[in-house]
C-alpha cells in the first residue's frame, strides 16, 4: 500500500532540521523522503533510523568544526533532540508512544528560537511552507498521473508496480526546482512582503547615504534607517575614535569583523567585559563598520520591540548598512576635510588679498613719493651739473691763464729768474695742474651722470700711455710685448693719473709702481703703493664721490665710472699698514 503522507512528513522533518543547522540541501530532503511512500512497514523503521544517524553525525560535525558559536549552540540543541528522538523510537517501537518521537526536534528548535534568539524563525517557516506547498503540488500531479494511468492506460502500465511508481516519482522530482521557483516568489509576495521589497529599500538607503556629506547628519540618518526598518528599542552609531582605547568590545569587533550578539557571548566567561560594555550601551547586537580593512565605527542595536524578533533579513540589512556606512563616513570625512581646507584657503586668500591691497596702496604711495623724489633728484642733478659746469668753466679759464703765464716765466721769456723763484713756480705749476685735473674730473663726472660722456675709441699703445703718466718717484713696470689695443686713451690716461695722484698723496715718499699685463683676454693695469693701507670697512666707500680725508676724493669715483664705460672694472686690495693695489681690467680689443 502506498502512503503519500509519509514523504510529506519526512521531508518537512528534514527541511526543518537542516534549515536550523544552516544546511541548504534542496531538493534532497524530498528525494530522501520518496522511499517512505513505498517501503514496507517493517523496513521504514530502519530507513528512518539511518536518517537519524546521519543527522546525529551532521550535528556532531558542526558542533566540533564550526567557528560560529551560534551554530555550535544549535548543533548542541539538535544533538539532544535527535538523541531523545532515537531513544523514544527505540523504546516505543511499534507502540502507542511512537508518535512522541516527532516532538523533540520541533521542541528544541522552538527553545533555541525563543531563548537564544537565533534569528532564523522566518527562514525555517518559509522553507517549511515552500517544501510543503511544492510537495503537495507534486503529490497532486503524481496522484493525477496514477489515476490517469489506472483509468486509461491499465493495459499498458501496471499502476501497482512499485518500480514503475518509483521511477515516475523520480521523474516528477526533476521538476521540483522549476515548480519551487514560482511557489517561492508567491510565498515571498504573500507572507514576506518586506523582504521582497528589500532591493528597492536597499537601493533607496544606498542613494540616501551617498548624498549626505555632513558627518552628524549621516549618523542621524543611519540611526533613522535602523529604527524605521528594524523593530528595535534603541540604536546608536559610535565612531572608534570616541571610544576608549582599551575597550574590550572594540577589540573583539576588530578581531571578528562580523556581527556580535550578546546571546552568543552570555555563556562564555571570557567575554564578561564585552557583555558589561554591551549592557551599558543597552545593545543586543554590535555590527562593526569597516573601510578598507580598518574599523572606523560600531552600529549598536538594542533589543527588539516586544512581540518581535530578529530575522536573517534584519541581520543582512545591518550588514548592508555597515558596509554603506563605512564608505559614507569616509566620504563625509573627506568632504569635511576638503571643505575645511577650502574654508581655510578662502580665509587665507582674503587675508592675503587684504595684505596685497594694503601693500599695493602702500607701494603706490611710496611710488608716488619716489617719483616726486626722483623728479627732485633729477632736477637737483640738472642744477648741480649746470652749476658745476658753469663753476668749472669759470675756474678753468683763469687757471689756464695762470698755468700759461707760469710756463712763460719758466721758459725765461721775461728774462732770467732766480733758482728759488724757479722752484716755486714749478711747485705752482704742479699744484695748478692737479687743480685743473680736479676741475676736469668734476666736469666729466657731471657728464657721466647726465649720460653725455661718450668714449672716443682708437688704437693706442699701453706702453706709451703708461710712460706718459709716470711722474717722479713712480716706478714703471712695462713688458715689451704689450699689444696695441683699442680704447679711449685719454680716459684711460685719466684713470691712471687719478690712481697715481692718490698713491703719491697717501704713500708720501713710499714706493709706488705702475704696470700692465694681458690676462685672460683683458688688459690689466695695476698701481701699487706702500702707503698706510685702507681699513676693510672703508674699501667700498672710497669709490663714492666726494669721500673726504679717509677716502680718495672724486678721482676714484670717476675712475671707476670710466672703467665701467669701457665695460671693465676697477678694484682694490688693501691691508692696513701694508699699502694698496688698484687694478684696472679692460677688455682687450685688437
Task: Please report, for the domain that includes residue 583, its CATH number.
Answer: 3.30.565.10
Q: Is the pTM of this model over 0.85?
A: no
Any idea what the CATH number is for the domain that residue 261 is in? Answer: 3.30.450.40
Among the three residues 336, 368, 394, which one is the final residue of a domain in this structure? 336
159 and 149 Cβ atoms separated by less than 8 Å: yes
Is the domain of 165 the same as that of 253? no
pLDDT at position 180, please? 65
Is 353 among the domain residues? no
Q: Which residues contact 305 (CB under 8 A, 6 or more apart)?
A: 231, 232, 233
Residues 6+ apart with CB under 8 A from 526: 513, 514, 515, 516, 517, 581, 582, 583, 584
Confirm whether 378 is domain-assigned. no
Same domain for 189 and 200?
Answer: no
| Confidence (pLDDT) at 193 | 45
- pLDDT score recorded for residue 496: 92
276 and 166 co-located in one domain: no
User: What is the Cα–Cα distance from 486 to 480, expressed in whole angstroms?
Assistant: 18
Query: In whole angstroms, what separates CA 118 from the centre of its chain?
Result: 45
Residue 508 lies in a domain: yes
Q: Which among 269, 270, 266 has a CA at the least distance from the CA of 255?
A: 270
Q: State the pLDDT at residue 247.
A: 92
Residue 300 in 3-state DSSP? strand
pLDDT reported for residue 410: 87
Q: Tell me: do 175 and 211 sit in the same domain.
A: no
Beta strands in 105-224 (DSSP E): none
Q: Report the number of distinct structural domains present in the chain.
A: 3
Q: Cβ of 315: how many Cβ atoms within 10 Å?
A: 19
Q: Give me the domain span that covers residue 557.
A: 454-587
Q: With beta carbons less than 8 A apart as the criterion, state whether 335 and 271 touch.
A: no
Do 118 and 14 sit in the same domain of this protein? yes
Quick one: 99 and 221 in the same domain? no
- Which parts of the chain have pLDDT scores under 70? 1-48, 55, 63, 66-74, 77, 81-82, 84-136, 138-139, 142-143, 145-147, 149-180, 184-185, 187-201, 307, 309, 312, 508-509, 545-553
What pLDDT shows up at residue 533? 86
133 and 215, same domain (yes or no)? no
What distance in Å separates the CA atoms of residue 112 and residue 70, rounded to the nearest whole number? 10
Q: Is residue 393 part of a domain?
A: no
Domain boundary among 148, 176, 195: 195
Q: Write phi, then psi, for 582 (nearest 5 degrees).
A: -100, 130
- Inside any domain, residue 403: no
Query: Do residues 205 and 122 both lie within one domain?
Result: no
- Within a domain: residue 126? yes
The pLDDT value given to residue 250: 92
Q: Are residues 526 and 485 in the same domain?
A: yes
Same domain, residue pair 332 and 463: no
pLDDT of residue 196: 39
pLDDT digit string, tens, across residues 210-267? 888 888 888 888 888 888 888 888 999 999 988 998 899 999 999 988 888 887 787 7
| Residue 66 confidence (pLDDT) | 66
pLDDT for residue 572: 93
277 within 8 A of 249, measured Cβ to Cβ: yes
Please give the Cα distance from 462 to 493 (Å, whole number): 10
The DSSP annotation for 567-578 comes to T-EEEEEE-TTS
Domain boundary among 336, 356, 383: 336
Q: Are residues 159 and 297 in the same domain?
A: no
Residues 15 and 149 in one domain: yes
Grid look-up 528560537 returns 113
Residue 408 in domain: no
Q: Which pLDDT does position 399 carry in this prediction?
A: 85
Looking from the CA of 242 toward its CB, the CA atoms found within 13 Å total 6
Q: What are phi and psi of 168, to 5 degrees?
A: -65, -40
Q: Is residue 293 part of a domain?
A: yes
Amino acid at each position: 500500500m502506498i502512503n503519500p503522507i509519509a514523504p510529506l512528513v519526512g521531508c518537512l522533518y528534514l527541511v526543518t532540521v537542516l534549515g536550523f543547522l544552516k544546511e541548504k540541501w534542496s531538493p534532497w530532503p524530498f528525494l530522501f523522503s520518496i522511499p517512505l511512500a513505498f517501503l514496507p512497514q517493517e523496513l521504514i523503521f530502519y530507513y528512518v533510523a539511518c536518517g537519524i544517524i546521519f543527522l546525529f553525525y551532521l550535528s556532531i560535525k558542526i558542533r566540533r568544526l564550526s567557528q560560529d558559536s551560534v551554530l555550535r549552540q544549535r548543533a548542541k540543541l539538535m544533538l539532544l533532540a535527535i538523541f531523545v528522538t532515537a531513544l523514544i523510537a527505540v523504546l516505543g517501537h511499534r507502540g502507542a508512544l511512537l508518535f512522541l518521537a516527532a516532538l523533540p526536534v520541533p521542541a528544541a528548535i522552538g527553545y533555541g528560537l525563543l531563548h537564544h534568539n537565533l534569528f532564523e524563525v522566518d527562514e525555517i517557516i518559509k522553507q517549511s511552507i515552500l517544501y510543503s506547498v511544492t510537495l503537495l503540488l507534486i503529490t497532486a500531479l503524481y496522484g493525477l498521473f496514477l489515476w490517469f494511468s489506472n483509468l486509461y492506460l491499465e493495459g499498458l502500465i501496471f499502476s501497482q508496480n512499485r518500480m514503475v511508481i518509483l521511477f515516475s516519482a523520480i521523474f516528477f522530482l526533476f521538476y521540483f526546482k522549476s515548480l519551487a521557483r514560482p511557489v517561492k516568489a508567491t510565498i515571498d509576495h504573500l507572507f514576506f512582503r518586506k523582504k521582497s521589497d528589500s532591493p528597492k529599500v536597499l537601493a533607496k538607503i544606498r542613494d540616501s547615504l551617498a548624498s549626505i556629506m555632513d558627518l552628524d547628519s549621516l549618523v542621524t540618518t543611519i540611526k533613522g534607517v535602523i529604527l524605521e526598518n528594524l523593530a528595535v528599542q534603541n540604536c546608536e552609531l559610535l565612531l572608534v575614535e570616541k571610544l576608549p582605547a582599551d575597550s574590550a568590545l572594540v577589540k573583539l569587533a576588530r578581531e571578528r569583523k562580523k556581527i556580535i550578539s550578546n546571546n552568543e557571548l552570555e555563556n562564555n566567561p571570557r567575554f564578561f567585559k564585552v557583555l558589561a560594555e554591551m549592557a551599558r550601551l543597552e545593545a543586543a547586537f554590535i555590527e562593526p563598520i569597516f573601510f578598507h580593512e580598518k574599523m572606523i565605527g560600531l552600529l549598536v542595536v538594542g533589543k527588539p520591540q516586544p512581540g518581535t524578533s530578529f530575522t536573517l533579513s534584519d541581520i543582512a540589512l545591518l550588514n548592508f548598512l555597515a558596509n554603506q556606512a563605512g564608505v559614507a563616513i569616509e566620504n563625509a570625512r573627506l568632504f569635511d576635510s576638503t571643505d575645511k581646507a577650502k574654508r581655510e584657503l578662502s580665509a587665507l586668500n582674503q587675508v592675503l588679498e587684504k595684505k596685497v591691497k594694503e601693500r599695493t596702496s602702500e607701494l603706490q604711495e611710496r611710488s608716488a613719493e619716489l617719483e616726486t623724489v626722483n623728479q627732485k633728484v633729477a632736477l637737483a642733478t640738472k642744477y648741480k651739473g649746470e652749476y658745476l659746469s658753469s663753476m668749472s668753466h669759470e675756474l678753468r679759464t683763469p687757471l689756464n691763464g695762470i698755468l700759461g703765464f707760469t710756463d712763460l716765466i719758466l721758459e725765461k721769456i721775461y728774462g732770467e729768474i732766480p733758482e728759488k723763484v724757479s722752484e716755486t713756480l714749478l711747485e705752482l705749476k704742479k699744484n695748478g695742474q692737479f687743480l685743473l685735473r680736479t676741475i676736469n674730473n668734476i666736469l666729466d663726472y657731471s657728464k657721466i651722470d647726465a649720460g653725455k660722456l661718450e668714449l672716443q675709441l682708437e688704437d693706442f699703445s699701453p706702453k706709451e700711455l703708461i710712460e706718459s703718466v709716470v711722474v717722479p718717484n713712480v716706478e714703471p713696470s712695462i713688458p715689451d710685448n704689450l699689444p696695441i689695443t683699442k680704447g679711449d686713451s685719454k680716459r684711460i690716461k685719466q684713470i691712471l693719473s687719478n690712481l697715481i695722484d692718490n698713491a703719491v698723496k697717501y704713500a708720501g715718499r713710499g714706493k709706488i709702481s705702475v704696470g700692465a699685463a694681458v690676462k685672460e683676454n683683458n688688459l690689466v693695469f695695476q698701481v701699487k703703493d706702500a702707503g698706510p693701507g685702507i681699513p676693510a670697512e672703508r674699501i667700498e666707500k672710497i669709490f663714492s664721490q666726494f669721500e673726504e680725508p679717509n677716502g680718495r676724493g672724486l678721482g676714484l669715483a670717476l675712475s671707476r665710472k670710466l672703467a665701467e664705460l669701457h665695460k671693465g672694472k676697477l678694484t682694490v686690495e688693501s691691508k692696513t699698514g701694508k699699502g694698496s693695489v688698484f687694478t684696472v681690467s679692460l677688455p682687450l680689443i685688437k
